[in-house]
Amino acid sequence: MKATRLLIGGAAALLPLMVAMAQTPPPPAPDASPQPQQQGATFEQLDTNGDDKISKEEAAANANVSAQFARYDQDGNGFIERAEVASANHPSQPQQ
């Protein structure tokens, strides 16, 4: 008889916890469609064809790079080369 009361008491004590867990929404499922890279995309990630330059089409995968394409494409040839990225990200310091 004591065992039955103990079992019922234990179940009653766990009931609020079980109800709370049942009401917790499941974690969001990972999206099956790949999202474009936004921040922190590397040159290699954007250069999808491996030709050591980023075209406007490749830059479109990153909204930040796409929006600033003209700033990075310093020679205006329609591609961003590694040297242009380095130059745009680290402009030379003015001499004093």
Closest CA to 80 of 38, 39, 89, 37: 89
- pLDDT of 41 reads 83
pLDDT above 90 coverage of the chain, percent: 42
Round to whole Å and give the CA distance between 76 and 39. Answer: 24
Give me the chain's average pLDDT, please.
Answer: 78
- pLDDT of 91 reads 73
Domains of the chain, by residue range, sit at: 43-89
Mean pLDDT for 45-73 is 93
- pLDDT of 27 reads 73
Between the CA of residue 93 and those of 37, 72, 75, 85, what are the distances in Å? 30, 18, 20, 16
Q: Using an 8 Å Cβ cutoff, are 2 and 10 in contact?
A: no
Closest CA to 65 of 83, 38, 33: 38
The dotted CATH code for 43-89 is 1.10.238
Answer yes or no: is pLDDT of 77 > 80.
Answer: yes
Kindly report the pTM of this predicted structure.
0.54
Q: What angle do CA 55, 57, 61 make, to 5 degrees?
A: 110
- pLDDT of 36 reads 46
Give the burial class of 76: count Cβ atoms within 10 A of its Cβ; 0-12 exposed, 13-18 middle, 19 or more buried.
Answer: exposed
